[in-house]
Chain A
């Protein structure tokens, strides 16, 4: 759940603040997870280098997708990222020895750091640290000239350009940065259950992330966090009532949010706390 919140915060920056509809956020989560596992256990790269290389892979893939898309209107980024997300899952399934195919890679273990084996509650502390770091980085960015430029680009690209903002570059930087953050979250995920396999990184979860941000309240960090927690827990609460049909409930919630409360749950909170 903490990782979902981390992902939702990053996706909120990209979608809610910068206005870019992307479906590849989960693919980058997967790229981060698979990169670090393959680098560590098949290529036997030391951990710090594996992390750096994993981030570099995410950055390069993000740039390859974002640079051509940013020159076109927003819709093309959605298509390009959807294609990337699908392609990624196909590659995982067809990857043979390297990716472990449909079964993924399992039974590995996080190398010891300074002679210590992080596990159990200590590993939870790592996830919490990641969540907090992501939050503070994104909040700092949001309140800087870069965050304002992102919002300006989302709202009115022509006026943003007239203020000296390089619209294409702002989009590419925001996309690459949030994708790299997703990749780092993916690296942390890889050692939660010590297994990575293709179904986790499919397009369904990318849509779920979009739902989380919209239902919670796009453009707001608190909104993204609330949405992530709610939609993560909802299937557990709903299971006794509707079994596996919780996706239907998500659909209704999503429609309700778009039609009745475009500012999401955080918008309702604002109204009552005023």
Chain B
């Protein structure tokens, strides 16, 4: 399978601190790539570099073979990379449906009533897909934290992304919600959308990801199948500390 996102030699320095150092990896079409690492390993920085939120110090990022590094966030989104936020960021004072329709912004181009109707139907389907079907008309202020996370996902999917970026989607969710989330993410990959998932919860990520990249101190220390990562002593040391039991 071809790669949809290629990251080459990506580095980011904040003053004297190197947050991301010469990182190389790729996301292939239709796969779930997990990126893990302890807090401060550079996961979120990498994420923000790809999404265009920070400028990189050096390196290259290609999406569908075109360079995207240095583009502003809205241009990156328009090319088909949509993201969720770790801390839910719904648009307040709007319904769930309208929030999801904002996610479809990049697809509006004809300004006709038919287009609006078609997008509404599609948004409703996505709201049902993430399991918020009864809440489409509800004000986003009434959603629980877990429901807010599901809304983030529906909103990102509404833009029909080729690649979706998840920033710690499991953070703050209850165990029952995690199972549902894993099921949704598998469903997204099954639709042929590539997934880049940043997560520090290994128990959530390892059964879900097709491949895993492990970061520590901004550099890649391992890259492979989940089973290989589980057995990799360097990863276990870096990530859990040498005294921690294996999962």
Residues of A at under 8 Å CB distance from B?
144-145, 148-149, 151-152, 155-156, 158-167, 219
Contacts and interface: CB of A to CB of B under 8 A. Distances in A.
Contacts of B91: 151-152, 155-156, 159-160
Contact of A145 (B72, B78, B90, B101): B101
Interface size class of B (residues with CB under 8 A): 20 to 34
B163 to A, nearest CB: 13
Q: DSSP class of A's interface residues: helix, strand, loop or mixed?
A: helix
B117 interface: no
Interface in B60-101: 72-74, 77-78, 82-83, 85, 89-94, 98, 101
Contact of B105 (A155, A158, A165, A219): A165
Contacts of A152: 91, 94, 102, 105
Given A160-B74, A163-B103, A164-B106, 14 more contacts: A145-B108, A148-B94, A149-B102, A151-B98, A152-B91, A155-B94, A156-B92, A158-B53, A159-B85, A159-B89, A161-B74, A163-B105, A164-B82, A164-B159
B51 interface: yes
Contacts of A165: 74, 102, 105
B155 interface: yes
Interface string B176-209: 0000000000000000000000000000000000
Contacts of A161: 72-74, 77
18 contacts: A144-B111, A145-B104, A145-B105, A148-B102, A151-B93, A151-B98, A151-B102, A155-B92, A156-B90, A158-B73, A159-B85, A159-B91, A161-B73, A161-B74, A162-B82, A163-B102, A163-B155, A164-B78
Contacts of B72: 161
Contacts of A145: 101, 104-105, 108, 116
Contacts of B159: 163-164
B231 to A, nearest CB: 36
Contacts of A158: 53, 73, 89
A164 B76 CA distance: 7
Nearest to B101: A148
Among A148, A159, A163: residue with most chain B CB under 10 A? A163
A163 B82 contact: yes
Contacts of B92: 155-156
Given A162-B83, A163-B159, A219-B93, A149 B77 contact: no
